[in-house]
Structure 1
Amino acid sequence: MASSAVPSNPITPAGYAALKARYDHLLGKERPEIVEIVSWAAGNGDRSENGDYLYGRKRMREIDRELAHLARRMKIARVLEPTEQPDKSRVFFGASVEIADEDDARRTLTIVGDDEQDAGADRIGWSSPLARALRGAAVGDLRTVRLPGGEREWEVISIAYH
């Protein structure tokens, strides 16, 4: 994996597996269950006041929209293994980065694909402002990030690839 040629929609193997699992669950379990409910409800007469039918049709549209979205995301996703990063001395896709702000408050973030970001688990998306600012940084580098609350400066303390 060339550090300078990261595709526009990178994703870790685990992130891709999670997308695929969600797609398979919707297609193989939830959608067939809703189809069955809608078919049963349709046989109960007047559809205009049939709550099961109306809810089922609405839920089926939601599932179909999510399936289409997941299919598009998986089609353009490029699975990258973070441990195969050739230059582990700099921050690139898949890096776990310990950073410290001006008050020496430290946090460790992992840069992952946008489809697998989870701020609560300190997994930030590749195209987020902080990830963009950290790209290419080495230990000791200072990076300024423009956030809605103003600019903040972070120092890179350590970099690891797991």
Structure 2
Amino acid sequence: MSRAFVNEDAGADRPDLPELPVPPGPNIVTPRGLAALHAQIARRQLDLAALKDRPDRLDKLPEAAAERDLRWLEARLKAAVVIDPAGHDLSEVAFGLAVTVSDPDGRETTYEIVGEDEADATRHRIAPNSPLARALLGAQVGDVVTWKRPSGPIDLEIVRIAHADP
């Protein structure tokens, strides 16, 4: 068959992008995390509208990516279960609370246990399924927990449990 009769652009209107994997089960979030999820959806909707308003729309990949991202974000929103830590009594480490720990050198660090989508290591916000959060959950002030890190275990003393900043 001659190459003149082959449509090399077939399917170019709708690029096939793999879907982003949506974790099974509920998406546990703090009220701040729920607000952030709504904000991400609004931003991505604006991005998609701007992409569709482009005068030159030959490249459909950015639009397809925005639509895929919106499907993922909306699935995360649909699965969201909000846990408001304001009701916690601060007697033990729980989801949404800030916990300050002291390492063997006496350095104190405060971590906040938040939903998976809210986790941010640079802000010391950790997901509840992380090894550190699993070690901290349920502990009380004065308890020593062992954080099993890849570089080796470390003992941390719970110094303070508080409500996180909004």
Greater fraction of residues in helix? 1
Q: Confirm whether residue 17 of structure 1 aligns to residue 17 of structure 2.
A: no
Q: Aligned partners of 2:107 and 2:134: how far apart in 1?
A: 20
Residue 58 (structure 1) aligns with: 61
Mapping 1:8-157, distance limit 5 Å = 8-27=26-45, 29-37=46-54, 40-41=55-56, 53-54=58-59, 57-85=60-88, 87-157=89-159
Letter in 2 for 1:78: V
Give the TM-score normalised by the residue count of structure 1: 0.80
Bigger relative contact order, structure 1 or 2 (CA pairs below 8 A, ≥6 apart)? 1
Identity value in percent: 37
The residue number in structure 2 matching 1:47 is: none
Provide, for residues 2-32 of structure 1, a one-character-per-residue CA deviation record: whole Å limited to 9, x for no partner: xxxxx953211111111111102212x1111
| Counterpart-to-counterpart distance in 2, 1:88 and 1:8 | 24
Q: Give the Cα–Cα distance (whole angstroms) in 1 for the partners of residues 132 and 84 of structure 2.
A: 21
Q: Distance in 2 between matches of 1:8 and 1:155?
A: 31
Compute the RMSD of aligned alpha carbons.
Answer: 1.5
Code of the aligned partner of 2:51: I
Alpha-carbon distance in structure 2 between the residues aligned to 1:148 and 1:69 = 31
Which amino acid in the other structure matches residue 159 of structure 1?
A: I
Amino acid at match of 1:11: V
Cα distance, 1:35 vs. partner?
A: 1.1
SS in structure 2 at match of 1:156? strand
Provide runs of 4+ in structure 1 moved above 3 Å: none
| Structure 2: gaps of 5 or more residues | 1-24
